[in-house]
A and B are shown apart, each in its own frame.
Chain A
Amino acid sequence: MSATESPISPARDALVQAAAEIRGKSLWQGAWERFLQNRSAVFGLFLLGAITLFALLAPLLSPHDMEETYWERIQIAPTLEDSHWFGTDSNGRDLLVRVAAGGQISLAIGLVTALTSLIIGILYGAIAGYVGGRLDQWMMRFVDILYALPLIFFIIILVTVFGRNIILVFLAIGCVEWLTIARIVRGQTLAVKEMEYIESARALGVPFFRIVSRHVLPNVIGPVIVFSTLLIPTVILVESFLSFLGLGVQEPGTSWGLLISQGTATLDGAPWLLLIPAAFLAATMFAFNFIGDGLRDALDPKSK
C-alpha cells in the first residue's frame, strides 16, 4: 500500500497522533468510575465495610466474651454501664459481642457459599453453553427441573441429611443456589461462542479449556458479578432462615438468624434483643442491594 503518498496522509497522521494521545479507558476503569458516581452504591459499600469492621473488631475490643454469662445482669436494656452497649440477652450474655460474632458467621457463610455456587454455576453453564447440542439440552433440562421447586425444601432436606454441621450447611446452600448462575453463564456463552474471535482462536488450535477460560469466561463475567452481589445476601438470608427454624447454626455459636429467633421469643419485655440483630441484618441486605444495583448500572455497557 502506498498510503504515505496519498494526499490525505498528513491529516491521517494527525488523527493517528491524536488518537495515540487519548488514553483508552478499559471496561473496568469505566465501570469503576460510573460506580463511584452512584451515591447509593458508594453508601452501600461504606455501610458494608462498617458492618464488616464491626463484626471483626468488636469481639477483640470488647471486655466481654460471647459465651460469658453474667447471672446478675440478665436481659438488661442497652446501657453504657459495664459497656453493655446493646444490653444483655436472656442468658446474661453481652449482646454486642454476640451480634458481632453472629455477623462474622453470617458474612462468612454468605461469601463462602456464594463462591461455591459461583464456581459450580460458572463451570456448569460454560460447559453446557460451549459444548451445546444434546449435552446442553440435558444439562439445562436438569436445571429446569430443580428450578421448578421451592429450593428451601431441598435445603432443609439436605441440612437434615448432613446433620447440623455448619460447613455442610454452607455447602448445602451452595449446591442449590448455583442454578441461576448456570443459566446466565450458559446464555452468555451461547452468545459469545459465535463471535469471530472465538472462531479464530479455534482456528489457531487453542485447546478447549483455554478457549473457555481465557476467551469465553472473561466476556461473560459482568452479569455474573452483578448476580453474585445479589447472591451473597440471598445466601445470608437462607442461613438466617435455617438458623431461625433451628436447623442452622447451633448454640453456643450464633448467627443473625439465630439471634433474631431468640429475640422473637422475648418480644414482650426485651425488644432490643430482636431489634438490634434485625437492624444489622436489614442494613446488610440494603448495602448489598445498593451495591448490586450500582454494579449493574456500571457494568451494563448499554447504560452509558
Chain B
Amino acid sequence: MTRYLLTRIGVMVPTFLIIVTLSFFLMRAAPGGPFDADAQLAPEVLENLRAAYDLDKPLWSQFGIFISGVFQGDLGPSIGYPDYTVSELIAIGLPVSLKLGLTALTLAALLGTALGVVAALNQNRTLDYAISTLAMTGIAVPTLITAPVLTLLFGVILKWLPVGGWGEGDWRHMVLPVTALVLPQLAIVARLARGSLLEILNQPFIRTARACGLPEWRVIGRHALPPALSPLISYLAPAVAGIMTGSIVIEQIFGLPGVGRYFVNGALGRDYPLVMGVVIVYAAAVLIMNLLADLLYGAVDPRSRKRMLAS
C-alpha cells in the first residue's frame, strides 16, 4: 500500500509542476498586460507599477519568484484587486465554491445512484423509461440553460427563491445554484449505476445466489450492489472536474462570490497572479480528488491496485 501511495504521489508532483509551468508561460504569452485598462499612465508610473509586480524582470526570474512563492504558500499580490493578496481572495472564494461543489457532489452521488438502481431493478418498465428520459435530459441540457431557466421559473415568475446572491450561505440562496450544478452529474451517475447494475445482474453468481434460494433483497443488497457500485468510484474525479467547470458558469449567473468568478475576472483583466492562483488551487484539487478516488477504489477492489503498480 505504501509503495502504491508513493508511486501515485511520484506521478502527481511532476503533473502538478507541468500544469503550473504550462499555465504560467501561456498566460504570459498573451498579448496585452494588466495595466491596459488604465489609459494614459505616465511612463514612469507604469514602470514603477511593473516593477512593483516584478513584471520588469526577465520571464525566467519571474517564474523562479513565482514557483518559490508557491512552495512557501505565497501566491503573490492580486493586480486587479490591489488591496488583496491572491491567497486572501482565494480564502474568501474557496469556502463558497467548496460548499456549493461538495453539496452538489454529495447529492449527485446519492440521488444518482438511487435513481440508477431503481431504473435497473425496473428494467424496461415505465419507471425505467422515466428515469432514463430524465437522465438524457440532464446530460443534453447544459447548466448554461438550466441555471437561467430555473431562475426565471422559481425566482422571477413564482418568486419562491432568491434570483441571485449568496446571502451568507443561507440555504434558500443555495437551492437554485446547486440544482443547476447537480443535474448533469446526477444524470451521468444514474446512467452509469443503471448500466453497471444491469451487467452484474446478468452474472452467473447472481443466478447462483437466486438458485440457492436467497431472498431477493439479499441477492440485490448483499451480492449485486457492492460489485455494481464500486466502479462508480472512478467517476468521482471526472465528476469533480465537471462540477468545477459548471461552478464557473453558476457563480457568474447567480453572482456568487466564489473562486470561479475570480478566475473569469482575472482572465479578462490579465490579473496574472490571480489566474495562476486559481489554476493552482483547482489543479491541486483535481489531482488530490483523483488520488482519493483511486485509493478508495483500491480499497474496494484490490485488483485495481495491482494494475496501477504494473503500469
The interface of chain A, by Cβ under 8 A from chain B, is: 144-145, 148-150, 152-154, 156-161, 163, 233, 237, 240-241, 244-247, 257, 260, 263-264, 267-268, 271, 274-275, 278, 281-282, 285-286, 289
Interface of chain B residues 1 through 46 with chain A (CB within 8 A):
15, 18-19, 23, 26-27, 29-31
B292 within 8 A of A: no
B268 touches A247 (CB 8 A): yes
Q: A237-B144, A281-B142 are in contact. Are A150 and B241 (CB under 8 A)?
A: yes
Q: Which residues of B lie under 8 Å from residue A159 when comparing CB positions?
A: 267
For this complex, 11 residue pairs linking A to B, each with C-beta atoms less than 8 Å apart, are A150-B244, A153-B263, A159-B267, A244-B249, A246-B264, A246-B268, A260-B145, A267-B148, A267-B152, A267-B163, A286-B136
Query: Given the complex of chains A and B, what is the CA–CA distance between A237 and B144 in angstroms?
Result: 9
Give the Cβ gap from B43 to chain A, nearest Cβ, in Å: 25
Task: Write out, one digit per residue, whether chain B residues 250-273 have a CB within 8 A of any chain A CB (1) or not (0).
Answer: 001100000000011001101000
Contacts of A286 in B (CB 8 A): 136, 140-141
The reply to whether the CB of B151 lies closer than 8 angstroms to some CB of chain A is yes
Query: Which A-B residue pairs are the 7 nearest by beta carbons?
Result: A285-B140, A264-B148, A161-B30, A278-B145, A150-B241, A152-B245, A289-B140
Roughly how many angstroms separate A153 CA and B19 CA in the complex, as a whole number? 11
What is the chain B residue whose CB lies nearest that of A236?
B142
Chain A residues whose CB sits within 8 angstroms of the CB of B264 once the complex forms: 156, 245-247
Select A160's contact among B15, B27, B148, B152, beta carbons within 8 Å.
B27
What residues on A are CB-neighbors of B244 within 8 Å? Answer: 150
Q: Is the CB of B156 within 8 A of A150?
A: no
* B297 interface contact, C-beta 8 A: no
CA distance A247 to B30 in the complex (A): 14
Question: Does the CB pair A282–B15 fall under 8 Å?
Answer: no
Note all chain B residues with C-beta closer than 8 A to A278: 145, 148-149
Contact with A along B264-287 (1 / 0, CB 8 A): 100110100001001100110011
Q: Interface of chain B, helix or strand or loop or mixed?
A: helix
Secondary structure call for the A interface:
helix
Q: Closest Cβ of chain B: how far from A166's Cβ, in Å?
A: 16
Contact A240 B144 (CB under 8 A): yes
| CB-CB nearest in chain A for B289 | A148
Complex CA distance for A139 and B252, rounded to whole angstroms: 36
Kindly identify, within residues 145 to 201 of chain B, every residue whose CB is under 8 Å from any CB belonging to chain A. Answer: 145, 148-149, 151-152, 155-156, 163
CA distance A144 to B311 in the complex (A): 13
Asked whether, in the complex, the Cβ of B29 is within 8 Å of the Cβ of A161, the reply is yes
Cα A193 to Cα B152 with chains together (Å): 54
Q: Could you say which of B148, B249, B290 contacts A274, with CB atoms under 8 Å apart?
A: B148
Docked-complex contact B27 and A148, CB < 8 angstroms: no
- Interface residue B139 (Cβ < 8 Å from any Cβ of A): yes
> Which B residue's beta carbon lies closest to that of A293?
B136
Q: Does B248 contact A (CB under 8 A)?
A: yes
- Shortest A186–chain B CB gap in Å is 14
A157:B267 contact, CB within 8 angstroms: yes
A48 to chain B, nearest CB (A): 13
List the A side residues contacting B26 at CB < 8 Å.
154, 157-158, 161
Note all chain B residues with C-beta closer than 8 A to A237.
142, 144
Q: Which residue of B lies closest to A240 (CB)?
A: B144
- Given A157-B26, A278-B145, does the pair A289, B139 have CB atoms closer than 8 Å? yes
CB contact between A247 and one of B156, B267, B270, B278 (< 8 Å): that residue: B267
Cα–Cα distance between A150 and B287 once the two chains are bound (Å): 10
Q: Provide the bound-state CA to CA distance between A106 and B248, in Å.
A: 21
- Per the bound structure, the CA–CA distance linking A148 and B282 in Å amounts to 11
Looking at the assembled complex, report how far the CB atom of B279 sits from the nearest CB atom of chain A, in whole angstroms: 6
List CB contacts (< 8 Å) of B92-148 with chain A: 136, 139-142, 144-145, 148
Residue of B nearest to A283 (CB): B140
* Given A157-B23, A158-B26, A267-B151: A145 and B282 interface contact (C-beta under 8 Å): no
User: Given contacts A148-B290, A153-B279, A267-B148, could you give 8 more A-B pairs where the C-beta distance is less than 8 Å?
Assistant: A144-B15, A148-B19, A149-B283, A150-B286, A157-B23, A233-B140, A257-B144, A286-B141
B19:A145 contact, CB within 8 angstroms: yes
